[in-house]
Amino acid sequence: MPVEEFRAAALAASRSGNNMTVNLDRIDHLDASSLQILLALDVEQKKQGATLQLAKPSPHLRHWFEFAGAAEHFFPNEAEQK
């Protein structure tokens, strides 16, 4: 999905005010703009009293989140276990 479509879909979904799960199964790569969208989506969810959860990231994608400095933000329970 092109990043603009992802941004538009994320914004539309965030307007619902419901808790949201983004399924990362079968996602091999995210770029910096995708990370920015996920971070902004998380902020919007929190403003509405809702949550954003990332589900089923591959080990490669988990490593990418760690490298980007966002693993503790999106996977705080796992960071505590290390």
Structural contact between residues 6 and 38, judged by C-beta atoms closer than 8 angstroms: no
pTM: 0.82
pLDDT tens profile 47-67? 989 999 999 999 999 999 999
Mean pLDDT across the chain: 87
pLDDT value of position 81: 47
Whether residue 17 is predicted with pLDDT greater than 50 in this model: the reply is yes
Handedness of CA 11, 12, 13, 16 (dihedral sign): positive
Other CB atoms closer than 10 Å to residue 62's CB: what's the count? Answer: 16
Confidence band for 80, pLDDT divided at 50, 70 and 90: very low
